Amino acid sequence: MNTTTTESTPLFWRDARLPHVELRKVMDGRKVCYAPHSHTQWSIGAITAGKSTFQYRDTLHQIRAGDLVLMNPEWVHTCNPVSDQPWAYLMLYVDTGWLTDLRFQAGLLPQRQWRDIPVATVSDPVWHERYCHMADCLLDPQRDLLDKQTEVVEFLSDLMHELARQPVVAEPKAPQALETLARYLDDHSAEEVSLDTLCELSGYSAGHLIRAFRQYTGLTPHAYLVNRRIQLGRRELQNGIPIAEAALNAGFADQPHFQRAFKRLMAATPNQYRRSSPDQQVKTTGGKQ
C-alpha cells in the first residue's frame, strides 16, 4: 500500500485478507481532536512522539512517547493534543470477537465471552517497541501475508498473557432497562428514534433516562445513537460504498451531516478514511497470498 501522506493527514491501513485488524497512523496530531466516543472493537495505541491527554471514562491520563493506551469496546474515551504541542501515534483496532477467541484458545478466558481488560496504559519500552515493529510490518507492502498475520497474532497473544496477570475488576451491573435501551439503539441506529419511545421502553421519565443512560454508557442516548451511526458508516466505507450512500445507509439525513459527525468522532473526513479501501490494499500489494 502507498503510505505517502502529509504529516497532518491520517493514514488508515486495511487489508481484506486480515479483516480483524485495522491500523491508523498520525504523524502530526496537533489538529487531531476527538469528541467523546467509543468503538465496537478493542483498541490499542502507541504514542510515537510528543505527548497528549487520554480521557478514559472518568480518569484523565497524561501520556507521552513510549506509552501504550488500551481501550475496551464501548468504553467512552478521547485522546487530544496538549496546547497545540506536536504528537504522533499509531492506533490498532482489533475485532472483539476475534480477540475473544484468541484469549479463549490461549486459556485466558473460561468461555468465549468478552471480558474487559482492567489496564488503561502501559509504559514499557519493550512492549512499545514490539507494537511499533508489528505496525511497521503491517504498513510495509513488501511483507508477505503470513508474515503480517504472524506479527499480529504473536504480539497480541503475548500481550494478552501479560495483561492476564492483572487483577480482574468487576464492573457494576447496569439495570436491565438500560441494557435493553442500548441494544434497542444498536438495532435501530439507522432509524429515527424518539425520546418518547425510549421512555416507553424503559419506564423512565425523560430526565431520569438521560442521566441514567449517560452514567451507564458515558454518553446521552442521542450521542450513543450518533456514535453507532458513525460505526455503521465506517463499515460502509470500508466496503467501498460511496460517501453519500453510506451516509443515508447509516441513518444521516444527508452527506454534510455525516461528514461533520464523522470528523468530530473519527478526527478524519470520510474521504480520508475511505482512501484506504480493501481493494486498494490488495492491488498495491500485488494480491500476494
- DSSP H helices in 164-275: 176-187, 195-202, 206-217, 221-238, 243-249, 255-266, 270-274
Which architecture does CATH list for 11-163? Sandwich (2.60)
The residue length of the chain stands at: 289
Reported for 103-111, long-range contacts at CB under 8 A and 24+ positions apart, including other chains, are 103/160, 103/164, 106/157, 106/160, 106/161, 108/160, 108/161, 108/164
Beta bridge partners of 92: 23, 44
Per-residue pLDDT tens for 211-232?
999 999 999 999 999 999 999 9
Domains in the chain: boundaries = 11-163, 176-274
Averaged pLDDT of the chain: 90
pLDDT, position 169 = 66
Domain covering 176-274: architecture: Orthogonal Bundle (1.10)
For strand 77-81 and strand 67-71, is the pairing parallel, antiparallel, or unpaired?
unpaired
Quote the percentage of the chain above a pLDDT of 90. 79
91-131 residue pLDDT tens: 999 999 999 999 999 999 999 999 999 999 999 999 999 99
Q: In whole angstroms, give the CA distance from residue 50 to residue 84.
A: 11
287 band by pLDDT with thresholds 50, 70 and 90:
very low
pTM (predicted TM-score): 0.88
